[in-house]
Copies of this chain bind each other. A is one copy, B any other.
Amino acid sequence: MPQLSERAVRMPSSPIRKLAPLAEEAKKRGVKVYHLNIGQPDLDSPSVALQALKTINRTILEYSPSDGFLSLREKLVGYYDQYQIKLTAEDIIITTGGSEAVLFAFMTCLNPGDEIIVPEPAYANYMAFAISAGAIIRPITSSIEDGFALPSIERLEEMITPRTKGVMICNPNNPTGYLYTRKEMNKIRDLVKKYDLYLFSDEVYREFIYTGSPYISACHLEGIEENVVLIDSLSKRYSECGIRIGALITKNKKLRSAVMKFCQARLSPPLIGQIIAEASIDAPREYAMNVYEKFIERRNCLVDELNKLPGVYSPIPMGAFYTVARLPIDDSDKFCAWCLTDFEFEGETIMMAPASGFYSEEGKGKNEVRLAYALEKKELKRAIFLLGEALKKYNQLSSNRNQ
């Protein structure tokens, strides 16, 4: 066969999904698997959305505009306004999930060899999309000891080279749950302005902020309106990961036109997803409140239970629905796989995402895992109990091996 491309070889496997075949096998053996690996909430999608789905009375399931339905974009304008993000429908491009928004942003802004600075641990697929565009991620590592706060802006500035084209942040952060402070956001703004960089800001978890601290959007920052590319997704807030509807938001007209060429090439975002998305924005306030309360409860449960386990440490995530926890193990890739292949307790086990995949440098995050708290409290409690049992057995086995 002809060779694969270099990018295909360099492309990482998803740390969130690469263990999926092992989980499938465990399930085939009759083992119940608690999914702590993936951010798919178990909560119902809004009933207005499900209702909209049932009452679609189109007879031709046809293309939609390449930038998405105007009616959806107009409705989103109102949604963002609640967060003091002032947009017009023209500023919004509907994408096939937030994933496509990141891909198109990178493809449009970054040349092969261009660099972007990304605080790590970071959402693993940024690396995949950077590799797709031939760009290089220059990681700036935040640490679990500091609760994954942004490293000093001086360290960030030191990393800037003539090839630096942008900074990518995720706020609130996946995988750490960290929420950037106003001070940090202002520092990022100053840097972006000083070096004329792009600021790619993934803010899909803005609904999930648990601390009373203010949410500072990249779109709130003055003086860098032309530099900001906001990444959004409707998946998380409406428990609709499957509809694949996201958005790329920019006030930069030249950038918008360029992104639109990529949008036209793939013709249009999903039709049905857009109809569901539009209906979802009308979900009553109680829907969001209920979801929010569940996640507060789950967060507390997860962090409490984790920190009770010997040798385990998790900071308290301020937002999103993940935490990165440190485990008393040497290699979380091995441990996470082992949980699926060799461990079970009363016919049950857990699936987690090894944190190594959220760092771009080899060797980092080896004793960390990302845990999503997208499960019912009772299930979550059981899952963390199982983690405790797994750790016990795993460490017993390794100490036996070392004797």
What residues make up the interface of A, taking CB atoms closer than 8 Å to B? 1-2, 4-9, 11-14, 16-18, 20, 38, 40-45, 49-50, 53-54, 56, 58-66, 96-97, 99-100, 103, 107-112, 114, 125, 128-129, 132-134, 165-166, 196-198, 226-227, 239-244, 252, 254-255, 258-259, 261-262, 264-273, 276
Q: Is there an interface contact between B197 and A2, defined as CB atoms closer than 8 Å?
A: yes
| Shortest distance between the CB of A2 and any CB in chain B (Å) | 5
Copies of this chain, complex-wide, total 2
| Shortest distance between the CB of A9 and any CB in chain B (Å) | 7
| Shortest distance between the CB of A26 and any CB in chain B (Å) | 16
Contacts of A244 in B (CB 8 A): 96, 244, 268-271
Contacts of A99 in B (CB 8 A): 265-267
User: For the complex, what is the distance from the CA of A125 to the CA of B133, rounded to whole Å?
Assistant: 18
Q: Is there an interface contact between A262 and B128, defined as CB atoms closer than 8 Å?
A: yes
Q: Contact check: which of B59, B111, B268 meets A6 at CB < 8 Å?
A: B111
Q: Is there an interface contact between B166 and A2, defined as CB atoms closer than 8 Å?
A: yes
Q: Is there an interface contact between A62 and B40, defined as CB atoms closer than 8 Å?
A: yes
Q: Is there an interface contact between A196 and B258, defined as CB atoms closer than 8 Å?
A: no
User: For the complex, what is the distance from the CA of A269 to the CA of B266, rounded to whole Å?
Assistant: 14
Known: A111-B6, A264-B18, A271-B242. A1 touches B196 (CB 8 A): yes
Identity of the chain B residue whose Cβ is nearest the Cβ of A110 in the assembled complex: B5
Contacts of A14 in B (CB 8 A): 66, 261, 264-265
Known: A61-B241, A128-B261. A270 touches B273 (CB 8 A): yes
Contacts of A63 in B (CB 8 A): 38, 40, 241-242
Contacts of A53 in B (CB 8 A): 53, 56, 61, 272
Contacts of A276 in B (CB 8 A): 61, 272
| Shortest distance between the CB of A104 and any CB in chain B (Å) | 9
Identity of the chain B residue whose Cβ is nearest the Cβ of A126 in the assembled complex: B265
User: For the complex, what is the distance from the CA of A337 to the CA of B268, rounded to whole Å?
Assistant: 22
User: For the complex, what is the distance from the CA of A326 to the CA of B86, rounded to whole Å?
Assistant: 48
Q: Contact check: which of B6, B227, B262 meets A1 at CB < 8 Å?
A: B227
Contacts of A239 in B (CB 8 A): 60-62
Contacts of A6 in B (CB 8 A): 111
| Shortest distance between the CB of A72 and any CB in chain B (Å) | 13
Contacts of A9 in B (CB 8 A): 258
Contacts of A264 in B (CB 8 A): 13-14, 16-18, 128
User: For the complex, what is the distance from the CA of A172 to the CA of B109, rounded to whole Å?
Assistant: 36
Contacts of A272 in B (CB 8 A): 53, 242-243, 270, 272-273, 276
Q: Is there an interface contact between A60 and B44, defined as CB atoms closer than 8 Å?
A: yes
Contacts of A60 in B (CB 8 A): 40-45, 239
User: For the complex, what is the distance from the CA of A61 to the CA of B261, rounded to whole Å?
Assistant: 29
28 A-B pairs whose Cβ atoms sit less than 8 Å apart in the complex: A1-B252, A1-B254, A2-B197, A2-B227, A4-B108, A5-B110, A8-B107, A8-B108, A8-B258, A9-B258, A11-B262, A14-B66, A14-B264, A17-B267, A38-B63, A41-B60, A45-B60, A50-B58, A50-B59, A54-B56, A61-B239, A61-B276, A63-B242, A64-B242, A96-B266, A125-B265, A244-B269, A272-B272
